[in-house]
Structures are given as structure tokens and as C-alpha cells.
Chain A
């Protein structure tokens, strides 16, 4: 069912779901949404199952013409949105009809927004996922970001009986200076004073920040004397903080599978959305945490989503 036509694609708009798991050993990165909280909320708002494909919008939003009656919802980064030139709110379901024009403009705070549609976007499942892997030209809509003139389909779905909204208290803020919790390792033994620098100084997000990784700039993180400058290539995780020879940290995100640089620490999964919502010029302050705390936060985050979901179940 044709659901929307792209009038303007925005900065970098791709189809994403939770990600592609099980193929990293063949060099296929996980991909998927960078802000899982905003993604989950967007699907809940339009009454979808949890892993339906949405649009991930970066910095500048798209303009689309609606081709069928459905509900849509925009979550994540704060961006102005209009329906036929009238402002509409984020974090709420919006009923749209054929011929409507939805325009999403420049980001105000944050970096990435998520636009969900009743039924979810219908694209071929490649290796068990709808996520776009732009580097590998696979998944999503023809393996690439959206272009003007693209027509996207959605799965058959019923519209909502009544509109939905995420309670204001649950809507995250996206400040330009954020605390990001990380667990030392896997190569924490490669660093001494570098560890102190990482957790005491702030790091600025540079212009080299994309779905593959965020290059940061700040106090140098030297490798302990006597340790090799690189390691035998091994897998990385979304959140791995790797330190190349220039001693400036890079937070690896979802489009990388292996690397040969030592990784001083790993951002906890609960805080990855916060990283993804920073833009060049923002400041990241790393805070040391441990596995027990991180797992407690992980469970809390899961429960938060379950509670939001429960609000809309009769």
C-alpha cells in the first residue's frame, strides 16, 4: 500500500528498525536506530508492534505527501513539524489523510528524530532486518538514504480509536552538554593517565560524527608506555571508545564490526541514545560506572518502555 511520497528528503533520512543481528561474523554491522527509546515511543504512539520500521531523520527533516489515511508520530530530536503548514506537536499521534503535506524542519535540540507510521514501513527484509546499511548498500529503501520522488509503502493497519501522547515527564531533554556513563575495558590495561583524562575532562563532538562513529576532541589519551599502539583486530560493540594513535577518542556506533585500536571503555547501552542526540560542538563528559549499575539501568529502561506501552492498553 503506497503511503507517502518524498517531496524533499531532508539531511540524511533512512529506514531503520532495531537492527540486523547474527551477521557480524560475516562483516555485516548491526545498523538499526541509534536512539532506541525515541524509536520505541514512536511505534507505540501509532499502535505498532515494537520492531516496525520507521524513518530516522538527521538534523534536517524531510517533507512528505501523504497517500493514505494513517497515524504518524515524530519523536526524538526537537524539530518543528507542520501538517499543511499548521504546526503540530511531537511525541503525539497525528491523523493524516491523502493529499496532506507533512514538513519537518531544522533541528532545535538533539540530532535524530524518528517518524513512525501505522503498520510500519514496508521494505524487503534483508538478512532478517529492514535497517538501511548505507555503506553496504543494503536494506531499508534500496539500500540508501531517501531521495526526492521516492514512494514508500506501509503494512496494512487500522488507525487508532483515539489519539495517543507520551506523558510530558517521560519526554527526554537533549542538552548540549551530556554525562555519558561508560564501563572501563576491554583494553583498560593499555591505559594509565589516559583513563584519568577520559573520566575527568570533557570531550567535544567534532564534525566527524555519523552512524559509524563519533570522533571526539579533547585531552589526549596516551597509551601506557611499553604497550603496543594497536591490537590484533577484534570485534567492537556499539559504544566502544577506541583510541587511535592521535590519542583522541572515537565512540563507535552501529556501522562498524571490527577494529584494530585499543578500546579504553564502552558506553553503556542505556546512554547510547544520549550520544546519538549530540551534534558537533556539544560536550560529552564520561562518567565511570560498573556492570552491576549498568544492568540495573538497562532493566529500568526496559520497564520504562513497558510502562509507557501499558498506558495505551485497555
Chain B
């Protein structure tokens, strides 16, 4: 699908308490920047009656209380805010470094990825850890980041049969996407490594270490480094 910014937002009803507002088409960093800029401007003081504002690749969902607001009021508000967004401002973001151990015991599919593309282990690690990946959105499970920017040489299809349980911290590849599993969950991604960091820690003051709009940089580490960091993370 061709990606483009819409001139005017497209509104879609999601039941009697959801309004989906689309700002463009496809997976595109400009469209996504607008989504985040809108969510950020509106989020400064969350509009009356809005329970949740969920920004994703190209749209924001408003989960509202019909006692307090309605789609007409929300549309008016969105259009006002849109006008005030002179240009799409670049949101301050941080680069979050994620240490990853690409050893066989943590990456059961890394050999498969090597074979698929005729690459050495070193090349796969290099190609995977070189870019800064933009976090387009977070969702699906707590802290699951949808990343853009995987090198074409690593695009690998999902497993034919998904695993019943992928361990927490696993790092994987699915087609043109790469990502991390913050909690153990079923999944069909090609697992190439594991991070010792706790990506979701509900009892920590800040349960998450990144948000949409931040960038992820993977840093290859050895098994001993992994063990050391894992130990520190569990203290």
C-alpha cells in the first residue's frame, strides 16, 4: 500500500464509545510523526470524557464516555489542535540501548536466518544491531514495540508453526519487522537472541523503558555479559 498523509483526518466509528481518527495511509514515519504529535498535543490535558487515547501506526483511537462527550465534540477539538500544529514538530526522543546476546541457546532461529540469506553469524548480528529503529507504536502485549527499519537483507518469514511460548526478553524477526517479547507469550517470530533487560516490570516506578517515538539500538553482548546484566536486573 502506498503511504501518504491525508489532507483531512478520516473519522471512523468504533462502536458507541470509540472514535478512530486516521491521519494517513500505510507505515510511514511522517504519518506516524503526525499521529504522535496529535496525541502529544491532545494529551497535555486529556480532553473531557476521554478515557484512553491510543496512538498507533497511522491512527489514534479515542475511547470515550458518552455521558461526557461524543464524536462531534471530539472532531471539532481534533481539527482545532490540527490547525495549531504549524508543522509536524520533531518530538524529543531518546535512543534506548538494548543489550542482546545472539548465542544459540537464546536464538534458536538465528541459524535459520543465516541460511535463508547466506550470511554468517557475524553478518546477521552486524546487520541487526547497526540501525536505530523507530518505535512506531507499542501494543499487543505490555511494552511490545513495533519497530521500523529492519535491513532488507534480514527480512525472514514467520515460522510455519508458531511456538506455544516464546521466553520473555526474546528478540526476533518477522518479515520486515524486528521486535522484543517483553513477556513470555505465544509467537511465530524467528528468534535470534535475548536481552537480559526487564522490558516490562509492573512493580518498577516506571514499568517501561521506552515509548512510541523513541529509538531502539541493539548492542551485541557475550554470554558472560548477559549473565552479569541478568543478575543485576533481578536484584
Contact A24 B17 (CB under 8 A): no
B55, A126: Cβ atoms closer than 8 Å: no
Q: Chain B contact residues (Cβ within 8 angstroms of A): what range?
A: 35 or more
Q: Is B16 an interface residue (CB 8 A)?
A: yes
Q: DSSP class of A's interface residues: helix, strand, loop or mixed? A: mixed
Q: Are B15 and A257 in contact (CB under 8 A)?
A: no
A7 to B46, CA, bound (A): 45
Tell whether A183 pairs with B55 under 8 Å between CB atoms, given A26-B138, A26-B143: no
CB under 8 Å from chain B, chain A span 282-314: 291, 294-295, 297-299, 302
A233 near B16: Cβ-Cβ < 8 Å? no
B13→A186 contact, CB < 8 A: yes
**Smallest distance from the beta carbon of B39 to chain A beta carbons, Å?**
8
**Residue of B1, B12, B139 with most partner-chain A CB within 10 A:** B139
Bits for A179-202, please: 1 = Cβ < 8 Å to B, else 0.
Answer: 000111111000000000000000
Out of A27, A228, A299, which one reaches B139, CB within 8 Å? A27
Distance between A138 CB and nearest chain B CB, rounded to angstroms: 5
Q: Does B154 reach chain A (CB closer than 8 Å)?
A: no
Q: Mark B11-38, 1 if CB is under 8 A from A, else 0.
A: 0111111101000001100000000000
Binds B, one of A35-43, A59-67, A77-85, A262-270: A262-270
Interchain CB contact under 8 A, A22 and B51: yes
User: Does A258 contact B202, Cβ atoms closer than 8 Å?
Assistant: no
Hey, which chain B residues are within 8 Å of A138, CB to CB? Answer: 142, 202
The count of chain A contact residues (Cβ–Cβ below 8 Å) is 44
Let me know if A232 and B13 touch, CB within 8 A. no
**19 pairs, CB–CB < 8 Å, chain A vs chain B:** A21-B51, A24-B139, A25-B212, A26-B138, A26-B211, A27-B141, A135-B141, A135-B185, A136-B141, A182-B15, A232-B1, A234-B59, A235-B139, A258-B56, A258-B139, A263-B14, A270-B16, A291-B16, A297-B16
B residues apposed to A, CB below 8 Å: 1, 12-18, 20, 26-27, 39, 51-59, 61, 63, 66-67, 70-71, 137-144, 146, 182-183, 185, 200, 202, 207-208, 211-212
Which 9 residue pairs across A and B have the least CB separation, nearest first?
Answer: A266-B15, A294-B16, A186-B12, A258-B139, A235-B61, A237-B18, A235-B54, A185-B13, A257-B139
Interface residues of A (CB under 8 A from B): 21-22, 24-28, 30, 126-127, 135-138, 182-187, 228, 232-237, 239-240, 257-258, 263, 266-270, 291, 294-295, 297-299, 302
Interface contacts beyond A28-B142, A232-B56, A235-B54: sample of 7 additional A-B pairs, CB < 8 Å, sorted by A:
A22-B52, A25-B39, A182-B15, A184-B13, A232-B58, A237-B17, A297-B16
